[in-house]
Structure 1
Amino acid sequence: MGMNRKKTEEYIKNQYGIEPDFPWDGDFVTAVFRHKDNRKWFALIMRVSGDRLGLDTDEPVDCMNLKIDDPMLLDMLIHEKGIIPAYHMNKQHWITVFLDGTVKDKKVTDLIDLSYSVTAGKKKRR
């Protein structure tokens, strides 16, 4: 079973001590996860109509945008099931990962860790 929204948010909280930020008035579904020091986003969790993501449904889908700084890796990832070019963000640097169980836990956590690393300030990079 792959990651869902709740497990993903718990992983980010446990791994990095970061709670979701809800920057849009009245929207408590779209969650931004930012570094504490530089305030840069490393993850955006949202609920989007499936048809906007290229799916054959208009049912809402939980998904997460993550930053990938390696163009070759990004190109490989977007050919995997459950990962597409970023919805509503720069497709050269971001991917969207479905949080519907399609993508295995380890892959999701590895991609979160990568996004966290590439958006960290110079002192925090791993």
Structure 2
Amino acid sequence: MHIEELREYCISKALTTEETPFGPDTLVFKVLGKVFLLVGLDQVDELTFNVKCDPEYAIELREKYEHTVFPGYHMNKKHWNTVHANRQLSDQALRELIDHSFNLIVASLSKKDQQKFIDLK
């Protein structure tokens, strides 16, 4: 997976926006204003990104993919992972981690905001 594929996948998700609130070098994907993925735009040789993760699942992933999944860089390490693309995980597995992060954020939204997803269907 390369950064363009990552971006396209993220922005294809319902009610998602992309922003650069931390400056021009970090792209942030949000669903209804809440962050689900961050990626540095200056990455050329190796793509890494941060995604939210269930705490127990985060530990499991770090143990199983010790060369690929790490505690979130500059993030709450209990709830965020830094993932190195193009190592141990397939593109499909990377998309599943993005989906997991997105779904955690959606589940944390107010019932009113969650209704917006139901209304889209």
Cα distance between partner residues in 1 of 2:100 and 2:11: 16
Identify the structure with the greater helix proportion.
2
TM-score by length of 1: 0.73
What's the RMSD between the two structures over aligned residues?
A: 2.5
TM-score by length of 2: 0.76
- Listed one character per residue, the Cα deviations across residues 44-97 of structure 1 (whole Å, up to 9, x for unaligned) are 011578xxxxxxxxx86331111112x221111112031111111011110011
CA contact (8 A) 1:44 1:66 kept: yes
Amino acid at match of 2:6: T
- Listed one character per residue, the Cα deviations across residues 3-47 of structure 1 (whole Å, up to 9, x for unaligned) are 22111111112233534211134x2x31000112xx110000115
Aligned to 1:52: none
Cα distance between partner residues in 2 of 1:24 and 1:110: 26
Q: Which has the higher contact order (CA 8 A, sep 6+)?
A: 1
Aligned to 1:78: 62
Distance 1:47 1:13, change over 3 A: closer
Moved over 6 A (4+): none
Give the gaps of 5 or more residues in structure 1.
50-58
The DSSP-based 3-state class of the residue aligned with 2:19 is: coil
Percent same amino acid at aligned positions? 28
Distance 1:105 1:60, change over 3 A: closer
Aligned to 1:34: 30
